[in-house]
Structure 1
Amino acid sequence: MPHSTATPIRMSPCAANTLNPIRKLVDHLVIKPNPDKEFLRLSIGDPSIFGNFNPPPELINAVAEQLQTSCYGYAPAHGLVNAREAIADYYTTDASPVTFNDVFITSGCSDALRICIDAVGSSERNILLPCPGFSVYQTICGNRGVESRFYNLDPDKDWEIDLDHMRSQLDENTAAILVTNPSNPCGSAFTKQHMLDILKVAEEYGVPIIADEIYHKMVFNGESHSFGELSRNVPIISCGGLAKRWLVPGWRVGWIIVHDRHQQLSEVRTGITRLCQVIIGSNTLIQAAIPQILATVPQSFYSETLTKLNFAANLLYTELCEVPELKPCMPQGAMYMMVKLQLDELFDIETDMEFVEKLISEQSVFLLPANIFGMDGWVRIVLTVPDDILRDACNRIATFCQEHSTKRCTEKKKAIEEL
């Protein structure tokens, strides 16, 4: 018998356990900006927003030429062979050769991460995640019922991993260690020695590393290494894509590269192939353009991008170091800077979220509170903003901090009492 009244239909546990903290904050923010000031968004890591970071013409031409071909149908679920061959050649080094059989093409790097976590994780196992770290990692684990455990990064050591703390989180049920390098949100880039030390811990405990390397080679100074090229004994499942280095996050093409010198990941490879079949492959038009993109984009494009990002980082760091209530950390790569809030020097602000909300309402500047990355008392600022907007934002942030400084408020209160 049908019900006489409509009965609410419950969402699934999978949906209920799916939460992206960044999207929740950005999509549901109810704080109104100051209507007298232009709203400055320094919150989202999309380099295409302001028009000052654009993809190179060689990349656009590569896609345009593919429009004249027959890239209209399905491709193999784990990617076109010629695209996988091009990616393999691009990442191959003398120390770490890669073949097309090691490459799986995905719908963006976040999809690559989802597949990797699905391929090794389960409700009985845990995966170690960085803290602070990109919130999507926890979103994927929570959606799948995989336990998230967190290891600390040390801001006083350029956000290196606290290896002793990492060891304390490992046990016999650990499926993998997820490492981000260069880092979102920290803007850090590990030294070769630190990467080798991380690999030593993973080898000691016999666990693979899932390496989020979407910002690979986006290092301002010095060399850039991948875990796959450095590892001799630890299996590495590396995730990358076109989004950041080529400045096209909306094209949604990423990849997984399996580095497995001792054939420990045979079952996992099968699992990755099967998981790629869930959405029957990524965008075939962009896939088909990958060989030409990787072959024709000049080094000057990558160098110019890094020069602009480094300039923005230095500008932000120099300006914010002048604000007593803030302690910026100079980034070494990627597209972000983390800034510590000296909350004991702010009169009426107790949390990073409160700082962000009041900064929006008073100065119309939007930063991300780092509590969504697992780090209370910090904010994250993106570097892909035009220089004039960055300077304006810095001036507004400095004004805001001065107006809320404990010292200023105490002096003001004392002056009023003396009247």
Structure 2
Amino acid sequence: MPDIQLIAAQDITSQAPLKPTTSIVKKEWNVRVSPAVGRSRNPIRETLASITANQPSCSKTPINLGLGDPTHYPLHPPPPAAITAVAQAAIGGGANGYLNGVGSTEARQAVADYHERWDQVKYDISDIVLSHGVGQGLDLLFSVIIPPASVEKSNILLPRPGFAQYTALLANLDAEIRYYDCVEDKDWEVDLEMIDQLCDDNTRAILINNPSNPCGSNYSRQALKDILVIAEEHKVPIIADEIYGHMTWSAPFTPLASLSNTVPIITLSGLSKRFLVPGWRFGWLCLHDPLGIASSIKSGMQCWGNRFMGPNSLIQAALPTILATEPEWYDEVINKIEALAKIVYQGVSDAPGLSTHCPSGAMYSFVKIDLAAFPTIKDDVAFATALYNEQAVFVLPGLCFGMPGYFRIVLGTPSDVMTEVIERIQQFCSKHSVIDQDL
């Protein structure tokens, strides 16, 4: 009897090969972005949009004290010579082309002259890279100093409270962010012990913001020296965000680079705040490297600077004139900001449930909310939302700066507008606070 299985096998092999069946899979759209986009949102802009999405319930004229834009009302006109210089650069027609990515020789020399004049710090033009405002300068610098996590672990120290853009700019990089506290009872100067404890072998930089946004503080010379001692001990460079440099009144401003004999200091500054032209988007980075140990950062800044064609060519052409502005013009601006600071300090001190330190620099007052005094208001965001709804005054909640329970007032309006703001805030607090003002 034949082997049935063998016959079956022979029959199968004798048949024509089967055609493979192809399953047709319909592709779907898969458009997506990097997760870094979600981490890079600017909480200041988002909070502004959220709180002001609806019209206030009152009939009062809205007053926006949320954004640090001194042109909104405006506080003071820019230097007349600066306006003339930009106009002449445009009319002359000689400043319309591409420039060196790190900036023209003339513009960088103007920056060097400016810092030697005001800071008593000497820079070679090779130490200077121009940028599209300090924000882009920070983005450039962070990209230079922070390696991919696959290559090397790294961390960076940031202040708390601090400017929200720092975190947003670092969101697409691989550094661990470590926050050190600024201490309110010490006029918002840094917690030195905390900085010392946070530094390790993977720390790429300590970022110092002075004068401070949002605190309105101006660090003492001794406080800055103490920071340098810690940086020297840990051999960590410092990023000095000094966009509000020399915008102080109760005490002189001390540039950090002027104190350092060893620690590399990368100073960032620009035109937006001191010259009252934030829309011109013009800033710069200066490397102070007394021991010549940060040549890699210098080369990296130059390399990254040339990824673009440099900032606005018209402003570069006008920069020598802009930066030669006479001290009298700055004095007029500072006198106005100081007057606003006093109005806010006195007005907040008289408002139940609020307290603040008198600002001494930059253009901000950071106000503490005693939430126990406002039983119907759960947090600083609710406070700012209700204040806008009832009094048409917009302030930024402290949450935007990593410090819940506070809000920031911008010192950038005419005095009569700020007086009106204080009256509205006092009315709001009197309505919602359980504190007896007569006690």
Cα 1:95/1:303, change in 2 over 3 Å: closer
CA contact (8 A) 2:251 2:360 kept: no
Q: Does 1:61 align with 2:84?
A: yes
255, 267, 286: which one aligns with 1:238: 267
Measured in 2, the distance between the counterparts of 1:95 and 1:248 equals: 24
Residue in structure 2 matched with residue 92 of structure 1 by the alignment = 116
Q: Does 1:74 align with 2:98?
A: yes
253, 256, 267: which one aligns with 1:227: 256
Measured after TM superposition, the shift of residue 145 of structure 1 is 2.6
Residues 375-384 or 4-13, more deviating:
4-13
Measured after TM superposition, the shift of residue 74 of structure 1 is 0.6
Residue in structure 2 matched with residue 250 of structure 1 by the alignment = 279
Corresponding residue SS for 1:334: coil
Measured after TM superposition, the shift of residue 110 of structure 1 is 0.7
Q: Deviations over 1:103-139 (max 9, x none)?
A: 1100101111111111112332111000000010111
Residue identity in the other structure for 2:274: R
Q: Does 1:286 align with 2:310?
A: no
Corresponding residue SS for 1:47: coil
Measured in 1, the distance between the counterparts of 2:106 and 2:36 equals: 36
Measured after TM superposition, the shift of residue 405 of structure 1 is 1.2
Measured in 2, the distance between the counterparts of 1:230 and 1:168 equals: 23
Residues 88-97 or 59-68, more deviating:
88-97
Q: Unaligned stretches of 5+ in structure 2? A: 1-22
Residues 261-270 or 90-99, more deviating:
90-99
Using structure 2 for the length normalisation, give the TM-score.
Answer: 0.89
Q: Does 1:214 align with 2:243?
A: yes
Residue in structure 2 matched with residue 331 of structure 1 by the alignment = 359
Corresponding residue SS for 1:72: coil
CA radius of gyration, larger in: 2
Q: Does 1:16 align with 2:44?
A: no
Measured after TM superposition, the shift of residue 27 of structure 1 is 2.9
Corresponding residue SS for 2:323: helix
Measured in 1, the distance between the counterparts of 2:75 and 2:115 equals: 28
CA contact (8 A) 1:141 1:147 kept: no
CA contact (8 A) 1:328 1:339 kept: yes
Measured after TM superposition, the shift of residue 2 of structure 1 is 10
CA contact (8 A) 2:74 2:412 kept: no
Residue in structure 2 matched with residue 110 of structure 1 by the alignment = 135
Measured after TM superposition, the shift of residue 221 of structure 1 is 2.5
Residue identity in the other structure for 1:119: V
Q: Deviations over 1:79-113 (max 9, x none)?
A: 00011011111112696321111111001011111
CA contact (8 A) 1:120 1:175 kept: yes
Q: What is the identity percentage for the equivalent residue pairs of Structure 1 and Structure 2?
A: 39
Residue in structure 2 matched with residue 405 of structure 1 by the alignment = 433
Measured in 2, the distance between the counterparts of 1:151 and 1:158 equals: 15
Residues 30-39 or 114-123, more deviating:
30-39
CA contact (8 A) 1:125 1:174 kept: yes
Cα 1:278/1:26, change in 2 over 3 Å: farther
CA contact (8 A) 2:89 2:317 kept: yes
Measured in 2, the distance between the counterparts of 1:142 and 1:352 equals: 25
RMSD: 1.7
Measured in 2, the distance between the counterparts of 1:388 and 1:223 equals: 27
Corresponding residue SS for 2:172: helix
Measured in 2, the distance between the counterparts of 1:287 and 1:194 equals: 35
Residue identity in the other structure for 2:78: P
Residue in structure 2 matched with residue 159 of structure 1 by the alignment = 188
Residue in structure 1 matched with residue 74 of structure 2 by the alignment = 51
Corresponding residue SS for 1:144: coil
CA contact (8 A) 1:109 1:239 kept: yes
Q: Deviations over 1:180-220 (max 9, x none)?
A: 00011111001111111111111111000000000111111
Cα 1:2/1:195, change in 2 over 3 Å: farther
329, 336, 354: which one aligns with 2:382: 354
Q: Unaligned stretches of 5+ in structure 1? A: 409-419
Cα 1:400/1:5, change in 2 over 3 Å: farther
Corresponding residue SS for 2:304: helix
Measured in 2, the distance between the counterparts of 1:2 and 1:323 equals: 71
Aligned ranges 1:242-391 → 2 under 5 Å: 242-295=271-324, 297-391=325-419
Measured in 2, the distance between the counterparts of 1:152 and 1:32 equals: 36
